[in-house]
Amino acid sequence: MAAGGPPVLVVTRLDDATADQVITELNRRRVPVVRLDPGDFPREVVLSGTFDSTGTSGTLATASRRIDLGNVRSVYWRRPTPHTADLAMDEQTGRWAVEEARYGLGGILTALPGAYYLNHPWRNRDAEYKPAQLATAAACGFTVPPTLITNDPDRARAFAAEHGPVLYKPLRETEYTDGTGRPLTVWIEDVTPDQIDSRVIHTAHLFQQRVGKSADIRLTAVGDHLTAVRIDRSPGVDWRRHYDVLAYTPVPVPPVVATGVRAYLGAFRLTFGAFDFGLDRDGVWHWYECNPNGQWAWFPDRITIPLTHAIADRLQHGAPV
Amino acid sequence: MAAGGPPVLVVTRLDDATADQVITELNRRRVPVVRLDPGDFPREVVLSGTFDSTGTSGTLATASRRIDLGNVRSVYWRRPTPHTADLAMDEQTGRWAVEEARYGLGGILTALPGAYYLNHPWRNRDAEYKPAQLATAAACGFTVPPTLITNDPDRARAFAAEHGPVLYKPLRETEYTDGTGRPLTVWIEDVTPDQIDSRVIHTAHLFQQRVGKSADIRLTAVGDHLTAVRIDRSPGVDWRRHYDVLAYTPVPVPPVVATGVRAYLGAFRLTFGAFDFGLDRDGVWHWYECNPNGQWAWFPDRITIPLTHAIADRLQHGAPV
């Protein structure tokens, strides 16, 4: 194994079981790793980034480590905490300081010269918009359930009547996880036409035809390394509420799905994606969503170990040529 | 002139002198135009966007117009107002409603099938990060003044002593303009080592060597249509404080600058960019910044009319092949 060389920069919060697994593997390979939470800036991080016609240089120093900004091997962008203002500041100054931190340190971290990103944070941010996910999934040839985004109660009721049973899904994923890296979120719920009332006018709502599914599938992509797991025994529509009773079975990826995944990752310029599908009784994979920064560390070891290796391979060596 | 056909969607606030000029030209050409401020959603805009395996359809209706989401010619992304919560909502519900609106309507507006974007809002957002601008400008061959981004007062003082005279520049541009479309912002100021004190620790600060310039240059790029204007008579370092006394002279673009601009726009996937340079006494163009959504309507008519036509050409016909 190669030892030493430029470090992998892992951008995340203290509590991130998923990042921990990858860091352990990189340590085993003796690849240098620096862990950074941008939310610790400016209190516990000293930044000195310099730019001129020759490019970027300078350093970023935490309590224990010092990073040469011109010599970062790769960046594993996970779940940093947001910048917060010094409590001693008045509100307006605090807002200004947070914005300067976000555009200053945040900007530097997005443009490290020659670094490989898994994923680049701008690409994650783009790929989090569900309407863009749905439009891109259709363009990539996936089977997309009829979906409506609206603030019109009449349209919502008509859609539920025509395409029911339908589900309500939040448009925005939350970032919360439990201690083991399992995602917590606003749940997906069944909704009937009579439950749709005038409150729909207050913002955008997403309604989607419920797939007549026999199981769920989570496909985790690390470039062309695809890991599809069939998830059975979920007693409700949203398996994320029921981790402890789920059964996981690795399944092969149909070529049409693999082709779609490749096109989708290319469209958003992602390396990593956590794709959710519903599997119907005819074996068709129905598109639900792709979380560009999804969790995977809660799977059993037989699934997470190869995933950890695939991610560590990319962070150590960059994209395969 | 072609009349009718799919509309151009102009995404901006009510008060936007720059958009007004482009809309007037599109009207003259009889190209249909719909103006939309997403900040009016959900109160004055009804959204009904549908998705399935065949792609995106549905409508967006304002008080006066109705847009077919599957049939938008192009999008001129200017200066929309942010979404705001209904005052009747409690704070947490309001925040949730704003996020759902932003990810719902905002997401749909970023993924209109087949529409040409000038610029795509995600590309604007990426290109607003000054550290990424500086790193990209260097990679594109521009002459970049020595620049430091830091929260370390000692480093800042040492930089000012070594590279002085230096300027302090904000990392984040504000969006404010006066009634005629001229940008208002936090001003760029000269700074001396003795002015740099321990307050620097509170966030990221940008210090840049002051170019020994003889004039400023604003280069407005609409794809390969480059308009460079020499700006003279600014009594201070930041010409945006002194519009009324400035003299504007169109100047040719050196081939090395044109090549750099093309590479820079390509790197950020922009069509439009407002580039600022300092011109030194030897005729060298020194990089300052590129605002991907910069203002230009305050220039004299002899400059704005060809610019308006170049933008209208793109919105009417898409990118030249």
For the ranges A93-97, A214-218, A236-240, B265-269, the lowest mean pLDDT is seen at A236-240
Q: 3-state SS of chain B: helix, strand, coil percent to 5?
A: 35, 30, 40
> Which of B52, B83, B157, B288 to probe the A interface (max A CBs under 10 A)?
B52
Instruction: Sort strands A285-291 and B8-11 into parallel, antiparallel or unpaired.
Output: unpaired
Name the segment(s) of chain A with CATH classification 3.30.470.20: 212-292
pLDDT exceeds cutoff 70 at A185: no
Q: Is the ipTM of this complex over 0.90?
A: yes
Beta bridge partners of A247: A232
pLDDT for residue A87: 81
Where do we find the tokens 């370390």?
B152
* Span A290-318, average pLDDT: 95
pLDDT exceeds cutoff 60 at B1: no
pLDDT exceeds cutoff 70 at A253: yes
Name the segment(s) of chain B with CATH classification 3.40.50: 8-119
pLDDT for residue A179: 62
Helix axes A301-317, A17-28, angle to 10 degrees: 60
Chain A positions touching B138 (Cβ under 8 A) are: 51-56
d(CA B105, CA B41): 8
pLDDT for residue A88: 84
Mind spelling out the 3-state secondary structure of chain A?
A: CCCCCCCEEEECCCCCHHHHHHHHHHHHCCCCEEEECHHHCCCCCEEEEEEECCEEEEEEECCCCEEECCCCCEEEECCCCCCCCCCCCCHHHHHHHHHHHHHHHHHHHHCCCCCEEECCHHHHHHHCCHHHHHHHHHHCCCECCCEEEECCHHHHHHHHHHHCCEEEECCCCCCCECCCCCECCCCCEEECHHHCCHHHHHCCEEEEECCCEEEEEEEEEECCEEEEEEEECCCCCCHHHCHHHCEEEEECCCHHHHHHHHHHHHHHCCCEEEEEEEEECCCCEEEEEEECCCCCCCCCHHHHHHHHHHHHHHHHHCCCC
Do the Cβ atoms of B67 and B34 come closer than 8 Å?
yes
pLDDT exceeds cutoff 60 at B185: no
* Span B39-54, average pLDDT: 96
Of the two residues A273 and B90, the one the predictor is more confident about is A273
Do the Cβ atoms of A226 and A258 come closer than 8 Å?
yes
B100-155 pLDDT, tens digit per residue, is 999 999 999 999 999 999 999 999 999 999 999 999 999 999 999 999 999 999 99
pLDDT for residue A234: 74
* Span B171-196, average pLDDT: 72
* Of the partner residues A86, A143, A152, the one whose CB lies closest to the CB of residue B53: A143
A6-29 pLDDT, tens digit per residue, is 999 999 999 999 999 999 999 999
For the ranges A65-74, A184-193, B191-200, the lowest mean pLDDT is seen at A184-193
Tokens of B224: 């390969």
| Start-to-end Cα distance in chain A | 20
> Which of B41, B151, B155, B169 to probe the A interface (max A CBs under 10 A)?
B151
pLDDT for residue B175: 56
* Span A235-250, average pLDDT: 80
Beta bridge partners of A213: A280
Of the two residues B189 and A307, the one the predictor is more confident about is A307
Distance of CA A64 to the CA centre of its chain: 28
Chain A positions touching B264 (Cβ under 8 A) are: none
SS3 assignment, position B221: strand
Residues 209-248 of B with CB under 8 A from A: none
* Span B43-64, average pLDDT: 95
Name the segment(s) of chain A with CATH classification 3.30.1490: 146-209
Where do we find the tokens 């040529």?
A321
Q: Is A98 on the interface with B (CB under 8 A)?
A: yes
pLDDT for residue B29: 97
Do the Cβ atoms of B52 and A138 come closer than 8 Å?
yes
Residues contacting residue B24 through CB under 8 Å, at least 6 positions apart? none
Cα–Cα–Cα angle for B170, A79, B204, nearest 5°? 20
Where do we find the tokens 């409508």?
B59
- Classify the C-alpha dihedral A163-A167-A168-A171 as positive or negative: negative
How many CA atoms lie within 13 Å of A205's alpha carbon, on the beta-carbon side? 24
Helix (H) or strand (E) holding B261: helix B255-268
**Nearest chain B residue to A159, by CA:** B50
Beta-carbon separation of A203 and B97 below 8 A = yes
CATH number of A212-292: 3.30.470.20
Query: pLDDT exceeding 70 applies to what percent of chain B?
Result: 94
Residues 168-207 of B with CB under 8 A from A: 170-172, 201-206
A10 closest CA partner among A72, A102, A53, A54:
A72
CATH fold of B146-209:
Dna Ligase; domain 1 (3.30.1490)
Tokens of B155: 């480093």
pLDDT exceeds cutoff 90 at B174: no
A308 closest CA partner among A248, A227, A252, A231:
A227
A187-242 pLDDT, tens digit per residue, is 677 888 888 988 899 999 999 999 988 899 999 999 999 999 999 887 777 777 77
* Span A263-290, average pLDDT: 97
Burial class (CB in 10 A: 0-12, 13-18, 19+), B17: middle
pLDDT exceeds cutoff 70 at A293: yes
- Classify the C-alpha dihedral B310-B313-B314-B320 as positive or negative: negative
A50 closest CA partner among A115, A3, A113, A142:
A113
Do the Cβ atoms of A231 and A246 come closer than 8 Å?
yes
* Span A39-51, average pLDDT: 96
Return contacts of A184-190, CB within 8 angstroms, 24+ apart: A184/A240, A185/A240, A187/A238, A187/A240, A187/A241, A188/A237, A188/A238, A189/A237, A189/A238, A190/A165, A190/A166, A190/A237
How many CA atoms lie within 13 Å of B100's alpha carbon, on the beta-carbon side? 24
Architecture of domain A8-119: 3-Layer(aba) Sandwich (3.40)
pLDDT for residue A238: 75
A150-180 pLDDT, tens digit per residue, is 999 999 999 999 998 999 999 987 655 566 6
pLDDT for residue A268: 98
SS3 assignment, position B34: strand
d(CA B10, CA B114): 16
| pLDDT band of A1, cuts 50, 70, 90 | very low
Query: pLDDT exceeding 70 applies to what percent of chain A?
Result: 94
Beta-carbon separation of B152 and A89 below 8 A = no
Distance of CA B192 to the CA centre of its chain: 30
pLDDT exceeds cutoff 90 at A181: no
The 10 Å Cβ neighbour count of residue A163 is 18
Q: Is A132 on the interface with B (CB under 8 A)?
A: yes
Q: Is A129 on the interface with B (CB under 8 A)?
A: yes
Cα B294 to Cα A223, B15, B143, distances in angstroms: 37, 15, 21
pLDDT for residue A191: 87
Do the Cβ atoms of A310 and A222 come closer than 8 Å?
yes
Residues 44-83 of A with CB under 8 A from B: 45-56, 58
Beta-carbon separation of A202 and B89 below 8 A = yes
Chain B positions touching A135 (Cβ under 8 A) are: 51, 55-56, 111, 113
